[in-house]
Amino acid sequence: MTTQTQQADVAIVGAGIVGLAHALAAARRGLRVVVFEQHTHAVGASVQNFGLVWPIGQPAGHLHNRAMRSRAIWLEVCQQAQLWHAASGSLHLLYHADEEAVALEYLETSAESHALGRTMLTPAEVSAKSPAVQAEGLRSALWSPTEINVDPRQAIRTLPQWLTAAYGVQFQFGTAVQAIHAPHLETAAGQWQAAQIIVCSGTHFESLYPALYAASGLQRCKLQMLRTAPQPAGWQLGAALCAGLTLLHYGAFRPCTSLAPLRERLQAELPFYIEEGIHVLLSQTSLGELTIGDHHEYAWSHDPFSRENVDAAILAYLHQFAVLPQPTIAERWVGIYPILRGQSELVLHPAAGVTIVNGLGGAGMTLSFGLAEEIVAAL
């Protein structure tokens, strides 16, 4: 007996945010889409993250525009799929003159930011945006209204059901794609054929196209994350919070000439933080828990162990800028994302009709929807 080859216009490997974003972009163009996910539900980077859509981190120009387009799509999708989200905005809290100098230079050199409502706030104005801010020693803050917060665990679980209901996207969960010979895919559940195959397989570099991944410069970045229990009595964090270390982390601030003296001071005062790539973000989930992280460790393969000294450093820095009603940690995990350092993503075309999209680093929630529209439009 021969088993029939099943057909789709677009086949996607991976039901993380990158795969889901491509499924949406293709389905919105009227294409028949099938998504293969090896696990019974996605458990990779897309559920390990903060859920922060963070345009303020992206450098001005194309990437910032892509982040803002993604933000708009997230808002549409959250509304249509009834996903929890909070348009919380963000505060970079500034306790030192050199941190304030970077924020001011960033605003002075970014006309776009002014138009979006990014501005400096006084300590009194800051306290109206979040009750958690440590007021002692605070000089000012960089306020941005563009950041939104989604619940990645809810969103990544719910989006497949919504994509099926709204656009007829087929999902094959628990189905690994074992080989691709375009236009054919060999899967654990038989053969499929698709005019376009988009491989969004995240950190799974060793299964499909291993030689290409090995030569690509991709790495895996390991991060330690923490979460409190729900805060008491419906306490609300308000804006997502971060402080001076975050200015070193994101590309948006890299053109600022005032960044070099800040880096020099932080290197001298907080060498462990710089060595471990620690910067600290604080956001709140739909259930009122507070998500806290992270550090950055880059390698091809990582051991699975988390280090208490890294968690302790993250929490020590957090408590310098945030005062929480209930700071006890209820959950810890290690997250891993794929990254091509120095690049915003990796896009390869290993064969006619096959596109690999990977390496979105720490900005996959922020950039995937916009990137996917660009990729699908170019197929």
Q: Is 176 in the site for ligand FAD (CB under 6 A)?
A: yes
> Exactly one of 238, 277, 335, 370 binds ligand FAD (CB under 6 A); which one?
335
Compute CA distances 221 → 182, 203, 225, 316, whole Å: 30, 9, 13, 22
Nearer to ligand FAD, 273 or 337 (CB): 337
Task: Kindly indicate which of the ranges 1-9, 12-20, 109-117, 245-253 contains the residues binding ligand FAD, using the contact rule CB under 6 A.
Answer: 12-20
Q: Where on the phi/psi map is residue 56: left (φ > 0), alpha (ψ -120 to 50), or beta?
A: alpha
Binding mask 51-80 for ligand FAD (x = CB under 6 A): xx-x--------------------------
Q: Is 89 in the site for ligand FAD (CB under 6 A)?
A: no
How far apart are the C-alpha atoms of 97 and 290, rounded to whole Å? 28
How far apart are the C-alpha atoms of 360 and 113, rounded to whole Å? 23
Q: Is 363 in the site for ligand FAD (CB under 6 A)?
A: yes
Confirm if 113 and 168 have CB atoms less than 8 A apart: no
Task: Kindly indicate which of the ranges 92-100, 136-144, 202-210, 323-331 contains the residues binding ligand FAD, using the contact rule CB under 6 A.
Answer: 202-210
Q: Is 241 in the site for ligand FAD (CB under 6 A)?
A: no
**C-alpha neighbours within 13 Å on the C-beta side of residue 177:** 29
Confirm if 234 and 82 have CB atoms less than 8 A apart: no
Q: Report the nearest approach of ligand FAD to the CB of residue 324 (Å).
A: 19
Q: Is 37 in the site for ligand FAD (CB under 6 A)?
A: yes
Task: Kindly indicate which of the ranges 30-38, 210-218, 231-239, 340-348 contains the residues binding ligand FAD, using the contact rule CB under 6 A.
Answer: 30-38
Q: Is 44 in the site for ligand FAD (CB under 6 A)?
A: yes
Q: Is 207 in the site for ligand FAD (CB under 6 A)?
A: yes
Q: Report the nearest approach of ligand FAD to the CB of residue 323 (Å).
A: 22
* SS3 label, residue 109: coil
Q: Is 370 in the site for ligand FAD (CB under 6 A)?
A: no
Q: Is 200 in the site for ligand FAD (CB under 6 A)?
A: yes
Q: Tell me the residue length of the chain.
A: 379
How far apart are the C-alpha atoms of 53 and 74, rounded to whole Å? 9
Nearer to ligand FAD, 55 or 238 (CB): 55
Nearer to ligand FAD, 130 or 283 (CB): 283
Closest CA to 302 of 45, 87, 26, 17: 45
Q: Report the nearest approach of ligand FAD to the CB of residue 312 (Å).
A: 18
Nearer to ligand FAD, 23 or 103 (CB): 23
Confirm if 31 and 316 have CB atoms less than 8 A apart: no
> Exactly one of 139, 204, 302, 332 binds ligand FAD (CB under 6 A); which one?
204
Phi/psi for 71 (5° steps) reads -60, -45
Report angle CA 57, 243, 94 to the nearest 5 degrees: 110
How far apart are the C-alpha atoms of 196 and 77, rounded to whole Å? 24
Closest CA to 369 of 66, 6, 61, 8: 66
Task: List interacting residues with ligand FAD (CB under 6 A).
Answer: 13-19, 36-39, 42, 44-46, 48-52, 54, 176-177, 200-204, 207-208, 223, 225, 293-294, 335-337, 358, 360-366
